[in-house]
Amino acid sequence: MRRLALVLLVSGCARTIAPVDVSVSDEQAQLERGRYLATSVMVCGTCHARRDWSRYAGPPKEGTEFAGSGDIARDEHFSPKFSFFAPNLTPHHLGPWSNGEIARAVVFGQGRDGRGLFPYMPYFEYRESLARDDLSALISYLRTLPAIGTDPPGPQRFAMPRFVLDGLPEERPLREKAPQPGAPEYGRYLTEIAGCMGCHTRADRRGLPIGAPYAGGREFIVPAPGGGIVRSANLTLDDAAGLGRWTKERFIARFRTATVETARQQVVEPGGFNSVMPWWAWARMNDGDLGAIYDYLRTLPPTREPFARWSP
Ligand code: HEC
Ligand code: HEC
């Protein structure tokens, strides 16, 4: 009874955020920018897809990119207690949503019905970094996706109670324009909207950061038969542990080692090395932007926290 009263009290305080003002259009340059952001930089389809973990870096199963995930809690985090998925982003599901409602979900984490989204959806990052013009481009592109009628894998059970989730969405002032290539903050902007930091910073069991930013060492259980633990790389300037000795050419070339097509052909034997980093998605990023990310990473203070990259 007490608990129920608390839930009612707290959820009574959850604010409804107004749909976000975006200018969606079918102008070619806008759609092209949105496509590039969605597929190659912000890589929405690495979560909102069904991935094949029997292949290198878990490429999306044919025809599922943007069409929704399987049960992420069960398939990737081995949690029988919880169950959640990343919904279908094609018009099959988002068709009835207004542009402003989609935008609000992406940057402020409030669903169409006012509920707070589980923060596995990285809206905490997007609300701090994403510019309104890029948000508009992103939604313009989502509107053009062909409808794919995949059904959700089941009801969701999150690792957080509803009244906590519903308190998480918060409105922030958005920057109006994304920095242009060559601007001093361009590389940082791309690195932030791509979401490199979350994986490349050590975290506790709840996923809260405890290590130096970008110093790597965050542990992931590989969701493939045979498992294994893979730890993210140190992206700071340290000569031995990080990217100190890496040239820009080597950095860019590292992102050209797997495409969706080649990843699909690379079968991982049970217990063999596999990575949770969706290399196949960022392989679509252009050289200039990967170079800008490299330039930004080189401004990070060198940090050395030794760890093994892979434990079978
Ligand atoms: C790290 C994984 C991840 C990434 C990357 C990601 N999402 Fe999500 N997204 C999720 C999950 C999980 C949910 C479901 C949260 C919930 O139901 O509470 C979600 C929910 C959403 C929703 C709300 C849908 C609904 O039915 O309530 C929208 C819209 C959305 N995401 C769009 C995007 C877009 C656009 C991108 C890329 C810019 C993106 N997401 C990137 C995991 C992700
Ligand atoms: C889902 C978690 C995840 C995300 C997101 C992620 N990484 Fe990684 N990354 C890893 C893991 C795990 C490894 C180690 C295994 C491997 O080499 O694939 C890694 C390895 C790397 C390496 C390889 C270093 C080496 O020694 O070969 C580079 C470079 C890198 N990441 C850069 C990035 C950049 C830049 C971004 C953002 C665009 C990013 N990562 C986003 C998990 C992630």
pLDDT in tens, 258-283: 999 999 999 999 999 999 999 999 99
pLDDT score recorded for residue 7: 47
User: How many domains in the chain?
Assistant: 2
Query: What spacing in Å lies between the alpha carbon of 100 and ligand 2's midpoint?
Result: 33
For 33, the token pair is 């920018």
> Do 148 and 259 lie in a common domain?
no
Same domain, 47 and 108: yes
Residue 309 maps to a domain? no
Which residue minimizes the CA distance to atom 36 of ligand 2? 196
Residue 217 contacts residue 211 (beta carbons within 8 Å): yes
Note whether residue 250 is domain-resident: yes
Structural domain boundaries enclosing 252: 186-201+211-304
| Residue 76 to residue 224: CA distance in whole angstroms | 9
Predicted local confidence at residue 13, as pLDDT: 58
Instruction: Tell me, yes or no, whether 157 and 31 share the same domain.
Output: yes
**Residue 35 within a domain:** yes
Q: How far apart are alpha carbons 211 and 198 in whole angstroms?
A: 11
Q: Please tell me whether residues 138 and 256 are part of one structural domain.
A: no
Predicted local distance difference test score (pLDDT) of residue 305: 83
Both 51 and 140 in one domain: the answer is yes
C-beta neighbour count of 165 within 10 angstroms: 20
Ligand 1 pocket, residue 22 CB under 6 Å: no
pLDDT at 133: 98
Query: What is the reported pTM?
Result: 0.95
Q: Is the CB of 277 under 6 A from ligand 2?
A: yes
Write out residues in the chain with pLDDT < 70, as ranges: 1-13
Q: Is residue 233 part of a domain?
A: yes
pLDDT digits (tens, 9 = 90+) for 18-73: 999 999 999 999 999 999 999 999 999 999 999 999 999 999 999 999 999 999 99
User: Would residue 229 count as lying in a domain?
Assistant: yes
41 lines ligand 2 (CB under 6 A): no
Query: Are residues 106 and 215 both part of a single domain?
Result: no
Q: Is residue 176 part of a domain?
A: no
226 and 155 together in one domain: no
Ligand 1 within 6 A of 297 CB?
no
Q: Which ligand has the nearest atom to the CA of 252?
A: 2
Q: Is 121 in the pocket of ligand 1 (CB under 6 A)?
A: yes
The residues, any chain, with a CB within 8 Å of residue 294's CB and separated by 6 or more, are 187, 243, 246, 248, 251, 252
Decide whether any atom of ligand 2 lies within 6 Å of the 190 Cβ: no
C-alpha to C-alpha distance for 56 and 224, rounded to whole angstroms? 10
Per-residue pLDDT at 311: 95
